[in-house]
Structure 1
Amino acid sequence: MKGVRFLLIGIECSRNKGTAAILKSTVQTLKNYFENALFKAVTPWPNRDKLNCKGIEFSDDLLSKLRLFKIRKESDDFDIVIDLHGDTISEDYGILTVFGFFYNIVSYKLLAKKAYVIYAQSLGPFNNPISRLLAKFCLNKVDLLIIREKITENYLKMLGIRNYFLGADPAFLLKTASKENIKEILKNEDIRASQGSIIGINVSQHIYDLLKDAGRHMDYIMMNAKLIDKLIETYDVNILLIPHVLNNVHDDYSIAKKVYSKIKNKNLVNVIEGDYTPEEVKGIIGLCDLFIGARMHAVIASTSQCIPSVGIAYSHKMHGIIGELLGLDEYIIDIDDLNYDILHEKTMKAWENRERIKKHLEKVIPEVKRKALKNGELVRELCDSLKIT
């Protein structure tokens, strides 16, 4: 029997482990509610992405076909659009991203006349009058609006948007690679298991670039190197530098190598070299006793395993999800406040309180995962109401 045909937009499934985690977890959640469902994802690199996401068809040119007289014919290939852009419907990435959202709504909703779902996203801010107008127009057109934190809720209220649901990021549901798989990765990486504790650190090219605009990019490299040496000298820990995005534009690996080059105690530091699936990266993060992350989904990978974590925030999503939803706001550092002293202070505080933080996460994470599963239930209810079967 033919199932519902989902078109997934706004993601990639290979080099960005965060968006890959969103995609994989969303598909798995929807499969729980839709028997025989079919999934097609629009990504920039379909040939590469299909190697990492089995069971999903990939395309890179659907929108180019969905034009004018062709649009109705091509839209017969799917029943409903699931928008997984995460946080890019916002002025944080420039006003053009809001125009991109408008283009998607016009193409998929108004011309193709398909059901359109905003799936567990962080939206806003919308400070420009034009972006506010476009955002309000588009958000009033969607069939189901699911957000993932309360700061977005405030932005929606400012726009006069009332019809939404508060869910949770789907990546909290991402499965972890097996212990045997992780052991094999450590062997391939030539990382020897140690009796000591492990602190994982994810440094970000995006944070580096944002600080570069302010002339502070080398400070970012040096503060992380200095922190690592301090942690090793104080606690005799092992350090894992774990990239979470690997591409030519935002390459965490290159920043990790810059940090590594400035570290004195290199014998207790390893940089993860390989390009692994999000499940495998989550498994590597799962080895850590403490995690410091500049990518939000790297921190979701840690906190979903109840690992005490410190997050570096460049937008409201880290504050809203890790800070407010998980109750770890005292361990979030805003990029505007980022310097060695505060990074050192928050990290040492998290280390000293790691058992208390772990117990706290063990209490809150099950409810967050239930909220993430609820996303799929809401899509099921929408399809039933629209008779999409």
Structure 2
Amino acid sequence: MKILVIGQTSMEMYRMEFGNIGNYYILEPLFRNLHKTFPDATISTTLQLSDRFCKEENVIRLPLSLYYDLNGGNKEQVEREIEIAKDYQKSGILEETTPYLKEVSESDLIMDFSGDIWGENANLLNADRFYIGVCKVYIAHLMGKFTTLFASSPGPFDRNDHFDFAKMVFKNFDFVANREAESKAILSNYGFDTSRVESYVCPAFQFEGKQPEVELIKKYINRGGRKTVGFILTGFNFLQGPHNKWPREEEEYVNFVQLIEYIIREKEANVVLMSHSNGFKMPPDPFVQIHGSDFKHAKMLYDILMNKGYKDNIKLVEEILSPWHTKGLIGQFDVLISGRIHGAVAGFSQSIPTIVIDYGHEPIAHKTKGFVNIVGTTNFFVHPSNLSSMIKSVDNCFTGLENERGRLNEIMPKVKGTVNISFQDLKNNFTKRH
């Protein structure tokens, strides 16, 4: 058996592993569960994963150009591939081929792993990205292959020239496994056929972290009388976009600064500011990991609070931590406040009471609401524009700290087990076709 994993999630070389840390939380459990579910399968992917990952997780990396050309999309090529696939559908003979058509023809299961990029968000990144991705799935349909959109959060959508085409292709997925229920409602609102859509949870809940070195823990975690609150802020949490706007004015941080001041003064807690994204130098420079986009916001908060005299109660994680050690450090906090939903997943999955800060501007991330609903923490889901709501959530969280920790500890086995169910349902649906 052969499985081909394609998708519109982060495409650049190394980006899935060494960029947004939440991506890696999903990636590792995804491929491990695929191997566990289909133990005899060979797995290939157009995701640009490192040699280390491919070797350790037994995955074959294919050139990205099979799926998408970052320099210009390759719209003409994919439309030619569709014509070839249509001829194949009629004759059963592949008269002409391309590297992508060859991979599809040799594969039994095509998995589209697109995260929250299956929709208009794709076109915010590259020209024709969504259209080309949909075309690649359509080709698999024409060639009679089993297809699944898996562990994704589809939507929102532009009602452009390709909208009806996307709806048609979506209808013909054999199995759609969303990672939260909110996406199904979004799809229904846009008129998509959701008869083959099921809602599960994100594989990231199963990602296993590693405890950092003892000295690093001692550096950031106070085991004395004061509790430690982790704080993750991203560009999406600001009221004014775009998310990568830089520099930002100090006044844009006011609500976050006042929230942290409240935590330090009224809750008598220390706050650790940390990034949940990394970066790396791009070729032709040698590969070197650097701070990601979150770090500058953590540093800005740190500088503002230091200038206000909170040097004894505020710390900034300056080390570039791996996904494993990032989750491990999060597991040491008494409370986590996260503007990144997979940062929150790292807290939830370790039974850390967690407050989630929503996006402050477009694009609105419906996945965030979906994840919060899974864990049952809507009372700890706050909008960055509402300081009083954020403070109230902090009050409620601290008041019921042990109850919340116990509640998370009780529900997490079921949440994590739902990941296993999604893969078993994938196998069951595949088996019905074969």
Q: Is the 8 A contact 2:19 2:292 kept in 1?
A: no
Correspondences of 1:1-389 after superposition (within 5 Å): 4-9=2-7, 10-11=9-10, 12-43=16-47, 46-47=49-50, 50=53, 54-59=57-62, 60-64=64-68, 67=78, 68=81, 69-70=97-98, 71-75=100-104, 78-91=107-120, 100-110=129-139, 113=143, 114-126=145-157, 128=159, 130=161, 132-158=163-189, 159-161=191-193, 162-177=195-210, 179=211, 181-183=212-214, 185-186=216-217, 190-191=219-220, 193-195=222-224, 196-208=226-238, 210-211=240-241, 218-247=250-279, 251-263=293-305, 264-314=309-359, 315-322=365-372, 324-335=373-384, 338-387=385-434
Normalising by structure 1, report the TM-score: 0.84
* 8 Å contact from structure 2 (residues 32, 57) kept in 1: no
How far is the alpha carbon of 1:303 from its aligned partner? 0.8
- CA 1:209–1:234 in 2, change beyond 3 Å: closer, same or farther? closer
- Cα-to-partner distance string for 1:307-338 (whole Å, 9 max, x where unaligned): 1111112222111211x222111111135xx2
Amino acid of the residue matched to residue 133 of structure 2? Answer: N
Supply the AA of the counterpart residue of 1:84. F
Distance 1:127 1:15, change over 3 A: closer
* Amino acid corresponding to residue 204 of structure 2 in structure 1: A
Range with bigger deviation, 162-171 or 28-37: 28-37
Q: As a proportion of its length, which structure holds more helix? A: 1
Instruction: Provide structure 2 residue ranges, at least 5 long, that are not aligned to the other structure.
Output: 11-15, 70-76, 82-96, 281-290, 360-364
TM-fit CA distance, 1:204 = 0.4
**The residue matched to 2:332 in structure 1 has which SS?**
coil
- Contact 1:310 1:331 survives alignment (8 Å): yes
| Residue 57 of structure 1: how far off its partner (Å) | 3.8
Distance in structure 1 (CA, Å) of the matches to 2:221 and 2:55: 27
Separation in 2, partners of 1:118, 1:99 = 19
C-alpha change, 1:185 and 1:138, in structure 2 (3 Å) is farther
* Kept in 1: contact 2:5–2:47 (CA 8 A): no
Asked if 2 retains the 8 angstrom alpha-carbon contact of 1:13 and 1:52, the reply is no
Question: In structure 1, what is the Cα distance between the partners aligned to 2:203 and 2:339?
Answer: 19
Secondary structure of 2:67's match? helix
Shift of 1:93: 6.4
Confirm or deny: 8 A CA contact 2:231 2:271 kept in the other structure: yes
Do 2:113 and 2:151's aligned partners in 1 also have CA atoms closer than 8 Å? yes
The residue number in structure 1 matching 2:90 is: none
Give the 3 Å change call, closer, same or farther, for CA 192–291 of structure 1 in structure 2: closer
**Deviations 1:46-103 (Å, cap 9, x if unpaired)?**
4588499754444433325985331322435644332222212244666788953432
SS in 2 for 1:72: helix
Whole-angstrom CA distance in 2 between matches of 1:64 and 1:148: 24
Percentage of matched positions with identical amino acids: 20
Equivalent position SS for 1:13: helix
CA deviation map 1:358-382 (0-9, x unaligned): 2222232222112111121122223
The alpha-carbon deviation at position 266 of structure 1 amounts to 2.4
SS of the residue aligned with 1:123?
Answer: coil
Give secondary structure in 1 for the equivalent of 2:157.
Answer: coil
Task: Tell me the distance in 2 between the aligned counterparts of 1:197 and 1:270.
Answer: 13
Q: 1:148 to 1:212 in 2, by over 3 A?
A: closer
Q: Is the 8 A contact 2:30 2:203 kept in 1?
A: yes
- Comparing 299-308 with 72-81, greater Cα deviation is found at 72-81
- The TM-score with structure 2 as length reference comes to 0.76
Measure how far apart 1:205 and its partner are.
Answer: 2.1
- CA offsets per residue over residues 23-68 of structure 1, 9 Å max, x none? 1111122222121443334346x45884997544444333259853
SS of match in other structure, 1:81: strand
Kept in 1: contact 2:331–2:352 (CA 8 A): yes
Q: Secondary structure at the match of 2:201?
A: coil
Unaligned runs of 5+ in 1: none
Partner Cα separation in structure 2 for residue 48 and residue 191 of structure 1: 33
Question: How many residue pairs get matched?
Answer: 377
